[in-house]
Amino acid sequence: MATWNGPHWKVRPYMTGRARNSSRRHQLLIHTLISTGNRFDPLLAASLAPATRRLYERAQDMCSIAELSAFSGLSLGVTRVLIGDLLKLGQVVIHDDRRMSAPQQDVQLLERLRAGLLKLT
């Protein structure tokens, strides 16, 4: 079992915050990449509600919110909320969300996209 120094895993997410949970903390877009970050806690998985457990298990391989939603048979909205819970618990990570806010203005990202797409033409 992976060591984890956060709140006890049996504590519900809303108990760990001082106030109401804010879903604004992470911007989970449909293409945001999520994974469990090279670790997986079977004991935690066993303690999760079925839908959350499906997402947690699925997230062992990095994929997008959209893929997690489709593969788990959960709506996008529910997927976001449950992944948000796992994020607050520190059990999943967002892979590089720095450019999510305005990617259409990120010239470096656009150049990489150009180079990659050019190879496919």
Partner 1 sequence: MPGFSSSPDVPYRQMTSAKIVIAGGFGVGKTTSVGAISEIPPIKTESWMTAATEHTDRLDPGTGKTTTTVAMDFGRVTIDEALVLYLFGTPGQPRFWPMWDDLVRGAVGALVLVDTRNLESSFAAVNYFEHDAGVPWVVCVNLFDNLQTHPLDEVRDALSLPAHIPLLATDVRDSRNVARALLAVVDHARDRASPLAIAAR
- Note the residues at the interface with partner 1 (CB under 8 A): 2-6, 25-27, 29-33, 35, 37-39, 62, 64, 66-67, 69-70, 73-76, 87, 90, 93-101, 103-107, 109-118, 120-121
64/81 with CB nearer partner 1: 64
What distances in angstroms separate CA 92 from CA 53, 59, 61, 101, 108, one per listed residue? 12, 8, 11, 20, 27
Residue 41 CB coordination number (10 Å)? 17
43/110 with CB nearer partner 1: 110
Residue 49 CB, nearest approach to partner 1 (Å): 18
Instruction: Tell me if residue 39 falls in helix, strand or coil.
Output: coil
What distances in angstroms separate CA 70 from CA 16, 52, 63, 77, one per listed residue? 29, 14, 11, 12
Residue 51 CB, nearest approach to partner 1 (Å): 13
49/112 with CB nearer partner 1: 112
Residue 18 CB, nearest approach to partner 1 (Å): 16
Residue 46 CB, nearest approach to partner 1 (Å): 20
CA-based nearest residue to 46, from 87, 10, 92: 10
